[in-house]
Every structure is written in structure tokens, then in C-alpha cells.
């Protein structure tokens, strides 16, 4: 994993932390009013780049479970450089400000998104909870499916 000097990792983490306390709201993406894990990432993207590169399709709470499609991974790959997630699954330090996608079940699709705020901490929105910064549980760390860097700003 390389650390691109053009990506302001501290700004990504500061923006993620600015969302802490935002209530969980399925499909929402408005700091202070409500968001889900994807909405948190979308809000950070807007703060960094202005507009979102694509609008998400409406989704239910059980999206992707029926088909097993890696919807989050595919969207992230269209817009973000991918990182090697294997060292992260083995307990390696999370690259500050990276996006991680987690499988909530061992064989299920990646359905949870979080921003690395420290070597073993994340900022995330989780159903039934407000956006929070937490230690990454070992059970979740071993189910990190994918990791991505935010792209360098244009210009």
C-alpha cells in the first residue's frame, strides 16, 4: 500500500469525524440529520470533490444478499484506487483515511463501509446507532473484503 501525498488523509478523517453523532437513517446522506454507511462515504466524497460521481440506486436493508453481487466493491472500483486488503485482514494497520468494505457474514457480499481513522479505528454508521468512531473489532477485521484510497483531487 502506498501513501499518496496528493491525498489529504487528515482531511478525510476530519470530515468523517465531523459526522460523528449523525443519526443512522437508511439511504440518507446529510450530516447532522441522518446517514447510513454509504451515505457517510457519499458525504465525505462531496466535501472533498463537490459532486458525487454517480447516484446510488434505491436499496433495501437486505440488498445484495439475494444475488451475492459485490455492489459496493464495483462502485468503489469505478472511482477509487484499490488497496491490498489481505494485510488488513491479518491485523495490519489501516491506512489513515482509507475506505474499507466489510462482509457482515463470512460468505456474504461486502455490505458495510467505514473510514479508517487510525491504525485500528474506524468511523462508520451502523444500523440502530449514530455515526461513531470505534475500535475495529477483530471479527470485522478478518472480514475486510476490500480497501480503497480516495483519489487525488483533480487539478
Return the SS3 of 81: coil
Neighbours of 126 (CB within 10 A): 14
pTM of the entire predicted model: 0.92
Contact 125, 131 (CB under 8 A): yes
Please choose, from the candidates 124, 13, 12, 24, the residue with its C-alpha nearest in 3D space to the C-alpha of residue 32.
24
> Which domains, and CATH codes, for the chain?
9-57+69-148 (3.90.1720.10)
Does residue 20 register a pLDDT over 60? yes
pLDDT value of residue 155: 60
Kindly report, residue by residue over 39-87, the tens digit of the pLDDT.
Answer: 999 999 999 999 999 988 888 777 777 778 899 999 999 999 999 999 9
Amino acid at each position: 500500500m502506498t501513501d499518496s501525498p496528493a491525498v489529504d488523509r487528515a482531511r478525510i478523517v476530519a470530515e468523517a469525524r465531523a459526522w460523528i453523532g449523525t443519526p443512522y437513517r437508511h439511504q440518507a446522506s446529510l450530516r447532522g440529520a441522518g446517514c447510513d454507511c454509504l451515505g457517510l462515504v457519499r458525504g465525505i466524497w462531496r466535501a472533498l470533490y463537490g459532486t458525487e460521481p454517480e447516484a446510488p440506486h434505491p436499496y433495501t436493508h437486505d440488498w445484495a444478499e439475494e444475488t451475492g453481487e459485490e455492489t459496493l466493491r464495483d462502485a468503489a472500483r469505478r472511482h477509487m484506487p484499490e488497496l491490498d486488503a489481505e494485510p488488513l485482514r491479518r491485523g495490519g494497520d489501516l491506512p489513515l483515511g482509507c475506505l474499507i468494505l466489510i462482509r457482515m457474514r463470512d460468505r456474504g457480499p461486502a455490505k458495510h463501509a467505514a473510514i479508517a481513522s487510525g491504525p485500528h479505528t474506524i468511523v462508520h454508521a451502523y444500523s440502530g446507532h449514530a455515526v461513531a468512531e470505534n475500535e475495529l473489532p477483530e471479527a470485522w477485521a478478518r472480514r475486510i473484503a476490500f480497501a480503497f484510497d480516495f483519489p487525488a483531487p483533480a487539478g
